[in-house]
Amino acid sequence: MAIGQLHPWTRRVTTAILALTMVAVSACSATFNNHGFVPPESELAAITIGVDTQETLAESIGRPTASGVMRDEAWFYAAYRVRNFAYRAPDIFERQIVAISFNDRGTVTNVERFGLEDGRIVQLSRRVTEASVQDVSFLRQILSNFGRINVSDALAN
């Protein structure tokens, strides 16, 4: 028996079930969101270490939305892609970070590029061999916080 030969009520129910199934299947597909900005590799390659300054970079690639904490000693450009899938928590599956360091006079001293692989930040490229990123162990982080605890505040609660 073909759909055209079914009872009108049965045809409506069948059409409604098919429509709801299509909506349910389309709701389960992943959506992607892009956030942030990282200058293209061609613009980063044009940066001359020891010559370019914050002012020349502001004109050529623009100022970032985040800069070094408390001082303007580094600029950070960040871009990432987020996958949202049904009821699951959003998943950041691609991340790029570019860090441009400056000396006291505002001249570029370093350009570093980092990516996200397996949940860890991985250095993709580095233009200067001196290290500006320091590794701090978990134990050192714990021990460095002991002097910051105010016992009277903790006992007041």
Average pLDDT over residues 23-32: 74
CB 115 within 8 A of CB 126: no
Residue 19 lies inside a defined structural domain of this protein: no
Residue 138 three-state SS: helix
Residue 10 lies inside a defined structural domain of this protein: no
Q: What is the pLDDT of residue 129?
A: 45
Report the share of the chain in percent with pLDDT over 70: 62
Residue 94 lies inside a defined structural domain of this protein: yes
Residue 151 lies inside a defined structural domain of this protein: no
Asked if pLDDT for residue 98 goes beyond 60, the answer is yes
Contacts of 153 (CB under 8 A, 6+ apart): none
Quote the domain boundaries for residue 61.
29-129
Average model confidence (pLDDT) for the chain? 76
Domain count, the chain: 1
Average pLDDT over residues 55-66: 87
Residue 110 lies inside a defined structural domain of this protein: yes
Asked if pLDDT for residue 119 goes beyond 60, the answer is no
Max alpha carbon distance in the chain (Å)? 84
Residue spans of beta strands (DSSP E) within the chain: 31-36, 66-67, 74-84, 91-102, 108-117, 120-126
Residue 15 lies inside a defined structural domain of this protein: no
